[in-house]
Amino acid sequence: MTIQACIFDLDGVICDTAHYHYLAWKQLADELGFEFTKEDNERLKGVSRMDSLDILLEIGQLTVDEETKLVFADRKNQVYVDFIRQIGPEEILDGIKPFLVALRARGIKIALGSVSKNAEMILNNLQLKSYFDVIIDGTKITNAKPDPEVFLRGAQELSVTPDACVVFEDAYSGIEAAIRAGMKCVGVGDPDILGRADKIISGFQDVKLSLLSEIEDVGRET
């Protein structure tokens, strides 16, 4: 099937906000009095805010009621938003903008598929919003990755079938979501974590449109 659309995750693919998520969760863990490492943080990538909090509390071996969870999640988001409020186009990861421009020139549709509720603010600050035909974010979906909802919604709003889409993801849960959606997927980052992707790239610096034809031909074991 010819690729007709690209769906991009945001945090860790378009910009390095994954790092700010980590710093904000780490600050909450510090305040609650337990250690939270970068390795622990891998489990939170692509996972919704409340699901991330559950994992964090499990790591800290803390049990709290639902009301307290909301207070903790708000606190983390406050710290996170303080970081992202200040970001600008210089935070767009290398190669992303030329790739988006090339996709548009070729007539490939472009969607954002992020579970973040802060996605709109980030895209605005990066001045990238106009590159996306469709934006699906955490305010529009009910099931976070690895559920395929965010990507299926993207395909639906772009009016393309899932098998004509390729997803770009930096998170294990995101690769899983793309596979469940019946889409091709490109992992951006560590092959040890993203091993199930159809192809893995370290970043977008040298990525050409020929990548799309390469992955059109990849068969997947079921």
Contacts with ligand BG6 by CB under 6 A lie at 10-11, 18, 21, 44-49, 52, 77, 114-118, 138, 171
Minimum CB separation of residue 105 from ligand BG6 in Å reads 27
At residue 140, the 3 state secondary structure works out as: coil
**Nearest-CB residue to Mg ion?**
12
C-alpha torsion angle, residues 102, 204, 43, 133 (rounded to 10): -10
Nearer to ligand BG6, 4 or 116 (CB): 116
Stretch that binds Mg ion, among 5-13, 55-63, 99-107, 188-196 (CB under 5 A): 5-13
Contact characters 146-165, Mg ion, x per CB under 5 A: --------------------
11 is catalytic: yes
- In Å, the largest CA–CA distance within the chain is 52
The active-site residue out of 11, 40, 137, 198 is 11
Q: Which does 4 bind (CB under 5 to 8 A by kind): Mg ion, ligand BG6, none?
A: none
Minimum CB separation of residue 2 from ligand BG6 in Å reads 28
Q: Which does 199 bind (CB under 5 to 8 A by kind): ligand BG6, Mg ion, none?
A: none
At residue 11, the 3 state secondary structure works out as: strand
DSSP letter (8 states) at residue 147: S
Residue in 168, 84, 93 with CA at minimum distance from that of residue 122: 84
DSSP letter (8 states) at residue 112: E
Sheet holding 199-201, edge to edge: 134-136, 109-113, 5-8, 165-169, 184-188, 199-201
Minimum CB separation of residue 133 from ligand BG6 in Å reads 19
In DSSP notation, 53-99 reads: HHHHHHHTT----HHHHHHHHHHHHHHHHHHHTT--GGGBPTTHHHH
Q: Which does 153 bind (CB under 5 to 8 A by kind): ligand BG6, Mg ion, none?
A: none
Share of the chain residues as helix, strand and coil, in percent rounded to the nearest 5 = 50, 15, 40
For 33-160, where are the E strands, in sequence order? 109-113, 134-136
191 upstream amide cis, omega within 30 of 0: no
Residue 144 binds Mg ion (CB under 5 A): no
Minimum CB separation of residue 101 from ligand BG6 in Å reads 23
Which of positions 8-37 make contact with Mg ion (CB under 5 A)? 9, 11-12
Minimum CB separation of residue 208 from Mg ion in Å reads 23
Q: Of the candidates 28, 141, 160, 171, which one interacts with Mg ion according to CB under 5 A?
A: 171
At residue 33, the 3 state secondary structure works out as: coil
Nearer to Mg ion, 19 or 34 (CB): 19
51 is catalytic: no
Active site residues: 9, 11
